Amino acid sequence: MVKETQLQVEAIRNGSVIDHIPANIGIKILKLFKMHKTNERITIGLNLPSSALGAKDLIKIENVYLTKEQANQLALYAPKATVNQIEEYKVVNKLNLALPEHIESVFECPNSNCISHGEPVESKFKVQQKQDNVHLKCHYCEKVFSREIMTEAR
């Protein structure tokens, strides 16, 4: 009986499972993809035990499939996350996360003097990666920000 209940909560028929999200990032990712505004059923696990990460967050969304572009944005928050696409309870596809070269209209420039704030333009950043460090360079003010600054600002 316990197992059946668990299955109802844990398994989804169709949709996406985002796993191996670092703890405390799950909520940000929900907001990033505006998942909290959908009518689809969403299951969130926060601070789940993980052998690799210590603690992790996990998100399951029914009937929603992440685009490649969304998966790349996800990579900025959670480079080691995994995205599984589920159909009829089976994993039919695993998305590989890759950092995008550019990110547009997701983040606001942290530089309050940046021209992008006063203009009706979409924000635009070039993604620079050196080993494990990821930086974003604003297209407008050309200032460079760390991944952490960008993802904390939201």
Q: Annotated binding residues for Zn(2+), as ranges?
A: 109, 114, 138, 141
Smallest gap from Cβ 91 to Zn ion, in A, equals 40
Nearest residue to 134 via CA among 144, 120, 124? 144
Burial (Cβ within 10 Å: 0-12, 13-18, ≥19) of residue 72: buried
Q: 65 or 140, CB closer to Zn ion? A: 140
Site for Zn ion in 108-127 (CB under 5 A): 109, 111, 114
Residue 78 · residue 25 · CB < 8 Å: yes
Q: Which is nearer to Zn ion, 75 or 114 (CB)?
A: 114
Report if residue 42 touches Zn ion, rule: CB under 5 A: no
Q: 107 and 150 in contact (C-beta within 8 Å)?
A: yes
Q: Is 138 in the site for Zn ion (CB under 5 A)?
A: yes
- Based on the shown chain and the rule CB under 5 A, indicate whether residue 150 belongs to the binding site for Zn ion: no
Smallest separation, CB 108 to Zn ion (Å): 9
Strands of the sheet containing 124-130, edge to edge, are 102-104, 124-130, 133-138, 144-146
CB of 138 to Zn ion, least distance (A): 3
Q: How far is the CB of 7 from Zn ion (least distance, A)?
A: 48
| 25 contributes a contact to Zn ion by CB under 5 A | no
CA distances from 136 to 5, 148, 150 (A): 44, 10, 8
Site for Zn ion contains 141 (CB under 5 A): yes
- Closer CB to Zn ion, 92 or 149, in the complex: 149
